[in-house]
Amino acid sequence: MHKQYDFSEGKRGAVLSSTGKTRITIMLDEEILEYFRKYAEAQGSGYQTMINAALRQFIFDQSKPANQPVTEETLRRVLREELHTS
């Protein structure tokens, strides 16, 4: 070890930056945070990672067309597939 270190070029914060991620402050209900912490611990994962995955899944689910009528083309395709497997 050195007797003295030069920190004049040092920077505060995380040593490694996460690419593709942004650090924010967010207010969550205690129950929500408690749920994700317990669930993450049981799964052996990080709770912030799980919150991110839940938000991503919500966005994915919202982008799917909901309550769309079945088209004739889709109905014919499904019937052909079902008749073929029977």
Q: Tell me if 21 is assigned to some domain.
A: no
* 2 vs 65: CA distance, rounded Å: 63
Give pLDDT, residue 83.
86
- The CATH number of the domain holding residue 32 is 1.10.1220
Q: How many domains does the chain have?
A: 1
Q: Which is nearest to 39 in space by CA: 29, 31, 49, 47? A: 47
Q: Tell me if 77 is assigned to some domain.
A: no
Q: Tell me if 11 is assigned to some domain.
A: no
* 85 vs 35: CA distance, rounded Å: 43
pLDDT higher than threshold 80 for residue 30 = yes
If you search the block for the tokens 């009528």, which residue do you land on? Answer: 69
Greater model confidence, 42 or 81: 42
pTM of the shown model: 0.56
Q: Tell me if 78 is assigned to some domain.
A: no
pLDDT digits (tens, 9 = 90+) for 38-58: 999 999 999 999 999 999 999
Domain span at 48: 26-65
Give pLDDT, residue 66.
67
Phi, psi of 48 (to 5 degrees): -70, -35
Greater model confidence, 17 or 24: 24
Give pLDDT, residue 86.
61
